[in-house]
């Protein structure tokens, strides 16, 4: 029988830093140790990825991989709360790593300033436990779904536009579960753009923190999660709706 992990595996400064997590019976010492051992890749460091990565880092997720090919611009700052005016023109993946490392210097953070497309080496993420997709278009999301399926890694996905958002978890690590392409069988040619439609930064913040929460729940095995469900959020009318996602047995992507 495996011995129960004890406080001895955490240093005093960890017990202090993560005290409010550890006091939660749902997390406790075991959950905090699981967080510290976890490897999470955050793809897309925009309005959703910034808060998601921030809460994962502050919660003590021990290994983060930050992926984004873009550079910080002034128009990002209404929602991309990891960045400041000093970061403008810097690579987002590297600026995010620098700023998160100053929030939590104890965790290991890797940055990959590269675009996710069909040339992206899927093996780069094979050792990760979870992928959080915070990208902003259907084509990239489909590639992220392929990476998740190839490596059998759970995919936690979020999107936002105007004052609306959605989040879903795709258990691509398990058999017979729906994937992103079961939900979006035919990809639209274009994705709605926040440049054209606008986006409220606080709504992307809500979606990003929900993704981080879902990831922490999965790591610590807490309660129910959005596996096979899609949550639709309309903050203008304050409506939250959850719908089931069914597996498409004809899906070319998850089999
Ligand atoms: Zn599928």
| pLDDT score, position 69 | 97
| Ion ligand 1: protein residues whose beta carbon lies under 5 Å | 179, 181-182, 251, 253-254
Q: Give the chain's count of helices (H) and strands (E).
A: 9, 8
**41 Cβ contact partners less than 8 Å away, ≥ 6 residues apart:** 64, 65, 67, 125, 128, 130, 131, 132
Average pLDDT over residues 207-236: 92
Q: What is the pLDDT of residues 96-123, one digit of tens each?
A: 999 999 999 999 999 999 999 999 999 9
Name the residue among 49, 39, 155 with its Cα closest to residue 108. Answer: 39
- Enumerate domains of the chain plus CATH numbers: 10-244 (3.40.50.720)
Q: What's the 95 CA to ligand 1 centre distance in angstroms?
A: 34
Report field, pTM of the whole predicted structure over 0.85 = yes
| pLDDT score, position 8 | 67
Q: What is the pLDDT of residues 14-68, one digit of tens each?
A: 999 999 999 999 999 999 999 999 999 999 999 999 999 999 999 999 999 999 9
| pLDDT score, position 194 | 79
- Measured N-to-C along each axis, helices 49-59 and 201-220 cross at an angle, to the nearest 10 degrees, of 40
The label of the residue with tokens 């997709």 reads 133
Rounded distance between C-alpha atoms, residue 101 and residue 58, angstroms:
10
Residues linked to residue 52 through DSSP beta bridges, in sequence order = none
Furthest-apart CA atoms within the chain: distance in Å? 58
Q: What's the 98 CA to ligand 1 centre distance in angstroms?
A: 36
Q: What is the pLDDT of residues 151-187, one digit of tens each?
A: 999 999 999 999 999 999 999 999 999 999 999 988 8
**254 Cβ contact partners less than 8 Å away, ≥ 6 residues apart:** 149, 172, 177, 178, 179, 181, 182, 247
């Amino acid at each position: 029988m495996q011995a129960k992990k004890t406080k001895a595996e955490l240093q005093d400064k960890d017990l202090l830093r993560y005290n409010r997590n550890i006091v939660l019976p749902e997390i406790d010492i075991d959950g905090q140790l699981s967080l510290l051992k976890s490897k999470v890749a955050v793809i897309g460091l925009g309005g959703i990825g910034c808060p998601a990565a921030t809460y994962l880092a502050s919660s003590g997720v021990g290994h983060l991989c930050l992926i984004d090919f873009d550079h910080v611009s002034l128009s990002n700052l209404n929602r991309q709360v990891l960045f400041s005016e000093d970061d403008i023109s810097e690579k987002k993946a590297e600026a995010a790593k620098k700023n998160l490392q100053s929030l939590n210097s104890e965790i290991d953070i890797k940055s990959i300033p590269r675009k996710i497309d069909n040339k992206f080496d899927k093996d780069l993420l094979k050792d990760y436990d979870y992928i959080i997709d915070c990208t902003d278009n259907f084509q990239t999301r489909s590639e992220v779904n392929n990476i998740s399926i190839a490596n059998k890694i759970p995919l936690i996905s979020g999107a936002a536009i105007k004052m609306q958002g959605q989040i879903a978890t795709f258990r691509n690590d398990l058999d017979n579960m729906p994937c992103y392409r079961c939900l979006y069988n035919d990809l639209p040619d274009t994705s709605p753009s926040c440049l054209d439609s606008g986006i409220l930064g606080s709504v992307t913040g809500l979606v990003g923190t929900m993704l981080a929460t879902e990831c922490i729940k999965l790591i610590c095995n807490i309660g129910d999660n959005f596996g096979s469900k899609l949550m639709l959020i309309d903050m203008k009318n304050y409506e939250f709706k959850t719908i089931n996602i069914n597996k498409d047995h004809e899906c070319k992507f998850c089999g």
